Each structure stands twice: as structure tokens, then as C-alpha cells.
A = this chain, B = another copy of it.
Amino acid sequence: MRHICHGVCQGYTGCSGSVRKKGAGGEDTTRIEDIGGEFALIHRLTSRKEIPGVLKGVGDDCAVLRYDDEFDLLITTDLLLEGTHFRLDWSTPAQIGNKAMESNVSDIAAMGGIPRYAFVSVAFTGDFSVEQADELYAGMNKSCDRHGVSIVGGDTTKGALLTLNILIVGMVEKGTALLRCGALCGDLVAVTGSLGKSEAGLQALQNGLEGNIQPHLEPTARTEWGRLLRPYANSMIDVSDGLAGDIIHICDESNLGVEIDGDAIPLFETAMEIAARLGHDPLDYALSGGEDFELLFTFSKSKTDLIQKTGVPFTVIGKITEATRLLRVKRRAVPLKGGYDHFF
């Protein structure tokens, strides 16, 4: 069902635990938390059977559909809600529009694809002004211009909360979409850029600290890097849920394990500053912070030179193994656990 899960909800609203309750007919009902949260729910609700024309359905960054002799079609969608995913007192409408578009484009990037068309559904609140609506669209259009995307359809309505759903249609050379399931045992695991920057910005906002919050408010999808990595990587995902959760998606879909060297994970400078001031471990910002929109990919060691020649800044942080999933930090190995879940 859900192609990616942006760990953007933490911090904006407390995910208040609901209590087990009786249904209308008096029967016991089950909380989403009780079955294991968001990903268990997605598995429960969605069919993974083969569908004609669908090359890859639920379970990756994008759905992959048959298109023509040259290209496959990539489709991804994200639903973003005021209070859950963004706050109007922390972000301008332009920043919200921009980030919403970038987070979707990032899913196309994670498959090595070219984003093309956007469909934007918006629920405006009663007191949202025309000027704010203009700004929201200006933010989306800024992102669209950056990535060569055109808004070609959508829906508008009125609601109690500002609500945005964006769907992006992209394309990728036939049969070459970088899937989560493509990792091979022995592959090196690498990540572009640096991590923890979005969580650091969120922590700064929440705690009233000074710091570089720009990457949190105005992230950039790595479409160009995705295109450059496509010929050489075996699997790829965007880091939207935190590194830990996202590498586990690759492991799950590839039926393999991983060993991550925590000390090798490239941390954003501000993440270290903010974490130090708050007494946090900056590694946690990278592992479970989410929304960094860097690319996490695996590749055969023999391709290292070719990847270096692309000019994409990347860091090797581990390797794909048979089954066990370990995170080694300062020579201490601990079981690797998943990232953020919207239902816990």
C-alpha cells in the first residue's frame, strides 16, 4: 500500500495511544498498534498478488507500471496533514508546498527515475487566504521547476486542517527501476550526503535552539544522483524513515541481512551540535529521524570505481549479509531495529 513512510510525524503531534474499546455492536476491536503498527497494517490491507500491467506494486518507493517499449511508468503518492506532518507556525506555506513536492520526487529519485507529472489534492481551511494558497503553490512550483515536473491535475476542497496529497508520475528506462529487493549478499551499503539534518532541525524548532534548520524546512530530493547511480546500484531507497528503518526495508524485500558500521555513518554537522546541546546521541537522528531524503543504496564492490566517477558524494556504511541485521558502534554490536512508525 504505502510506498514510503516519511518519518515526519514525530514531534508535531503526540501520537496519543488509543484504548482498546468496544465496537458499535459491542464486539472487541483491535488497535492498529496491537497488530504491529503501520507496516503490519499495510501488509494486512493490501494485496500483493500479481496484477496485469503492474511490474511492481505495493512494497517499494513507487509502483512500477508497464508503459512503452522504452520506458516503465513510476507512480508514488504521499498524504501530508497539518499538525501531523507540518505546522504553519514553523513553516511558511511555500516551505510546506516545496517539501511536500520534494518528498514525493524523492521516491522517484530512489528508483533512478525521471519525475514528470504531479497531481495535487489540497484541502484548504476556511481561514486560509488566497495569498497563502498562492505561496503554497509557489513552493510546489519551485520544486517542480527544479526537477522538471508539471502539475497536471488534482482536486481542491475545504477542510478543518490544511491537507495535501501529492502523486507523481515518472518514468524510468524499461526494466531498470532500482528496487528495494535487488540487494545481493556481499553488496556494499552506501548513503549519499549526510544524515540527521532533518531531525536536528526539528529538535532545534521544538527546543527553541539556534541552528541550521534549512534542511528540515527545505529538503531537496536527489533526482540527479538517482539517475547517476541507476546503472551501478543493485537496490536503492530514499532515507525518509530514518536509516535503520530504510535499510531494513531493503533487507526485508531482498530476504537478506546487513551489518552497518554506525561509526561510518556520515552525520550532518548541525546534527552533532544540536544533539550535543540536548544530550542526545546524534546517531539516533540519523537512524530514526527520517526525512533526510538522501539515497541509500547497495552495489557490488567491483562497481566502486564507476560510482566514484559519477561524482555523487557517497559513504560506504556497511555490507549486505546472509541474514543477521547488526549495527556495530565502537566495536559493540547490537541488533538493528526499525525506524519510526506513525502508530507508536
Interface residues of A (CB under 8 A from B): 1-5, 9, 13, 15-18, 21, 23, 27, 29-32, 34-35, 38, 41-42, 44-47, 51, 53-54, 57-58, 62-63, 65, 67-68, 75-81, 83-85, 116-117, 119-124, 126-134, 137, 150-161, 163, 165, 167, 169, 342-343
Contacts and interface: CB of A to CB of B under 8 A. Distances in A.
Q: By DSSP majority rule, is chain A's interface helix, strand, loop, or mixed?
A: mixed
12 contacts: A16-B126, A17-B126, A18-B126, A44-B134, A46-B151, A53-B117, A67-B67, A75-B117, A77-B153, A77-B155, A83-B159, A157-B342
Nearest to A69: B68
A63 B119 contact: yes
B158 A160 contact: no
Contacts of A23: 129, 131
A117 B65 CA distance: 10
Contacts of A343: 158
A123 B84 contact: yes
Contacts of A122: 79
B129 A31 contact: yes
Contacts of A116: 53
Oligomeric state, in number of copies?
2
A20 B79 CA distance: 29
A323 B77 CA distance: 41
A245 to B, nearest CB: 15
A50 to B, nearest CB: 10
Contacts of A47: 150-151
Contacts of A153: 1, 3, 57-58, 62-63, 75-77
Given A41-B124, A41-B156, A157-B342, 5 more contacts: A2-B156, A21-B129, A23-B131, A29-B132, A57-B153
Nearest to A126: B18
In the A-B complex, list the 10 residue pairs whose CB atoms are closest, starting with the nearest: A29-B129, A79-B121, A165-B165, A63-B153, A30-B130, A18-B127, A51-B150, A57-B152, A81-B159, A18-B126
B31 A130 contact: yes
Nearest to A158: B342
A45 B85 CA distance: 23
B79 A30 contact: no
Nearest to A153: B63
Contacts of A68: 67-68
A57 B13 CA distance: 36
A153 B137 CA distance: 25
B44 A165 contact: no
